[in-house]
Amino acid sequence: MTDNALTLSDEERAMAEGEAGPAVAMAMRIVVGAARAADARSLLPIASAHVDSCLYHGQAGLDFAEKLVELGATTAVPATLNVGSLDLLHPGLARPAPADRQGARRLMDAYTQLGCRPTWTCAPYQLDHRPAAGTHVAWAESNAIAFVNSVLGARTDRYGDFLDICAAVTGRVPAAGLHLDAHRRARIVLDCRPLPRRLLEEDSAWGALGGVVGRLAGTTVPALLGLPDTTTEDQLKALGAAAASSGGVALFHAVGITPEAPTLSQVLGGRTDQETHLITTDMLRAARDTLTTARNPQLDAVCLGTPHFSLTEFARLAALLTDGTRFSRTRVYVATSRSVLRAAREHGYAQLVEAAGATVVTDTCTYVTPVLDPDARHVMTNSGKWAWYAPANLGVDVTLGSLAECVASAREGEVRRDDRLWA
C-alpha cells in the first residue's frame, strides 16, 4: 500500500486492516498517521519502547489506555514504564486529590495490563537492559530520549503520549527524524575547552551546562568539544536532562566520549559552515543563576533524583553521610527507581540515607506530583531539570547547587554554596 510516499509491508498493511485484531489496528492507524505527518517513506521495526503515557494528566489519557485494554492490546516488544503519579511502594507519600488518585492508579494498572514492565522510572537506561548502539527504539520522556540517543547511541525520535504505547503495541515507528543518519549530524559546535576541570567536577555544573546547551542549540543537534575524558554517565545524564528541558535537545554528541562522536568532523558529516560558540565559566554561572530563583537563604527542603538517582549517586550521597549527619532542620527527598533502590539497599547506601532522615521516593517524581510539604517555599536541588520545572509546577523558589552543597545546606537549614569555582 502506498499513500503520500508511505509504503507499508504486507505485514504492516495486514495490521492496519485489522488482521491482528482491533487493538493493533487502532495503534497502527496512529503510527501510520504520525508517519504521514513526518513524510516518512516507510516504518521501522523497534527493539523496545519506554512509555511516558502512564503519568496521569486527566480522563483522556485514562480513556485511551483502558480502550486499548478493552480491545485486547498487548505489547509486541519489551516496554518499560516511566513515572506514574503515585508512589506505590510508599502509599500516602504522594497526595493527589482523591479523584486524581483513583484515576492515576487505574492508569498505572492499565499499562501493566498491556504488558509493560512496572519499572516506574524516568531513567530506564539504569535498568538491566540497555539497547545497543544503532538499535531502533521508541522511547518517550525527554531525558530518556536524550540519553538513549546520545550516551547509548541507540535511535529514537521524540515520542510522547500516545504514540509511545502505539509503537510498543505495533513494534513499529516512522522511519523519520533521529532514526535517520542525516538527522543525527551535528549542526552547532559548543567548544567547552575554556571550562576549568575543577568546575566540571561539580555536579551542578552539568545542569548549568545543559541549560547553556539547550538555550544555544534549541532542538538542533549540538556537538560538545573538549569535555574531560573522565566524564561519567551521571554527568551526561544531568547535561542531557537540562538541555532537553531548556531547549528540546534530543541528541547531543560529546566528541571523543559518546559512541557516534569519535571525531568532530565525523559528527559534522563533512559540514564546514556550522555555528560555533565558545562556552565559558561566565555562561555556566549565568545559567546557574537563572535556575536559582530564591533570594532568601532559609531552606525548607532538598530534592535529589531528577532524573532518578543512580546507584553511583547513592554511593556518593552515602559517603557524605558517614559522619552521622541528621537532617533535622530540612526535609530531604531522594527520588529513584525500584530497581536502583533495591541495589542501594544491597550495598547499604539506602539505609544510611534513611537513617540521616531523608525520604526515599519511588515510582514518581517530586516536581510532578504533590509529595513535598505544602508549606515548602524554598527548595534546593542538584538537578538542572528539577530547577527548570519546579517553580512553575510547584510554585516554589529554587536554588541549584552540588550534591555536597545540598547536604551541607540541609544540615544547616539554609543555603551553603561555594562560589569560588564559578568566579
**Cβ-Cβ contacts under 8 Å for 304 (sequence gap 6 or more):** 313, 317, 332, 333, 334, 335, 381, 382, 383, 403, 406
pLDDT at residue 2 tops 50: no
Q: Is 153 helix (H, G, I), strand (E, B) or coil?
A: coil
Closest residue by Cα to residue 146 from 280, 251, 23: 251
Amino acid 305: pLDDT:
97
Are 170 and 71 members of one domain?
Answer: yes
Are 264 and 323 members of one domain?
Answer: no
Are 195 and 133 members of one domain?
Answer: no
pLDDT at residue 3 tops 70: no
Mean pLDDT of the residues in the chain: 96
Looking up residue 334, the CATH number of its domain turns out to be 3.30.499.10
Angle between the 22-37 and 163-170 helix axes, to the nearest 10 degrees? Answer: 120
Are 172 and 26 members of one domain?
Answer: yes
Please answer whether residues 326 and 413 qualify as being in contact, where contact means their C-beta atoms are separated by less than 8 angstroms.
no
User: Strand 43-45 vs strand 172-174: parallel, antiparallel, or unpaired?
Assistant: antiparallel
Q: How far apart are CA 396 and CA 106, in angstroms?
A: 29
Are 313 and 379 members of one domain?
Answer: yes
Closest residue by Cα to residue 166 from 67, 41, 243: 67
User: Strand 275-278 vs strand 188-191: parallel, antiparallel, or unpaired?
Assistant: parallel
Question: Which amino acid is present at 220?
Answer: T
Are 274 and 305 members of one domain?
Answer: no
For residue 345, the surrounding DSSP H or E stretch is helix 338-346
Of the residues 182, 216, 240, which one is the last residue of a structural domain?
182
Terminal-residue alpha carbon distance, the chain:
62
pLDDT at residue 354 tops 50: yes
Are 20 and 138 members of one domain?
Answer: yes
- Give the number of domains in the chain: 3
Q: Is 290 helix (H, G, I), strand (E, B) or coil?
A: helix
Are 297 and 271 members of one domain?
Answer: no
Q: How far apart are CA 146 and CA 126, in angstroms?
A: 14
Amino acid 132: pLDDT:
97
Of the residues 233, 259, 289, which one is the last residue of a structural domain?
289
Which residues span the domain enclosing 204? 185-289
Average pLDDT over residues 110-132: 97
pLDDT at residue 273 tops 90: no
**Cβ-Cβ contacts under 8 Å for 122 (sequence gap 6 or more):** 82, 83, 141, 143, 144, 306, 307, 308, 365
Are 166 and 219 members of one domain?
Answer: no
Average pLDDT over residues 15-34: 98
The C-alpha angle 207, 249, 284, rounded to 5 degrees, equals 30
For 307-327, how does the pLDDT look when each residue is reduced to its tens digit (9 = 90+)? 999 999 999 999 999 998 899
Q: How far apart are CA 139 and CA 159, in angstroms?
A: 6
Amino acid 151: pLDDT:
98
Residue that has been written with the C-alpha cell 539554609 in this structure: 414
Burial state string for 252-264 with b = 16 or more CB within 10 A and e = fewer than 16: bbbbbbbebbeeb
Are 298 and 169 members of one domain?
Answer: no
Of the residues 182, 217, 234, which one is the last residue of a structural domain?
182
For 223-264, how does the pLDDT look when each residue is reduced to its tens digit (9 = 90+)? 999 999 999 999 999 999 999 999 999 999 999 999 999 999
Beta strands in 134-225 (DSSP E): 138-139, 172-174, 188-191, 222-225
Amino acid 193: pLDDT:
97
Looking up residue 148, the CATH number of its domain turns out to be 3.30.499
Are 190 and 276 members of one domain?
Answer: yes
Question: What pTM, to 2 d.p., does this model score?
Answer: 0.96
Are 225 and 310 members of one domain?
Answer: no
Average pLDDT over residues 8-27: 97
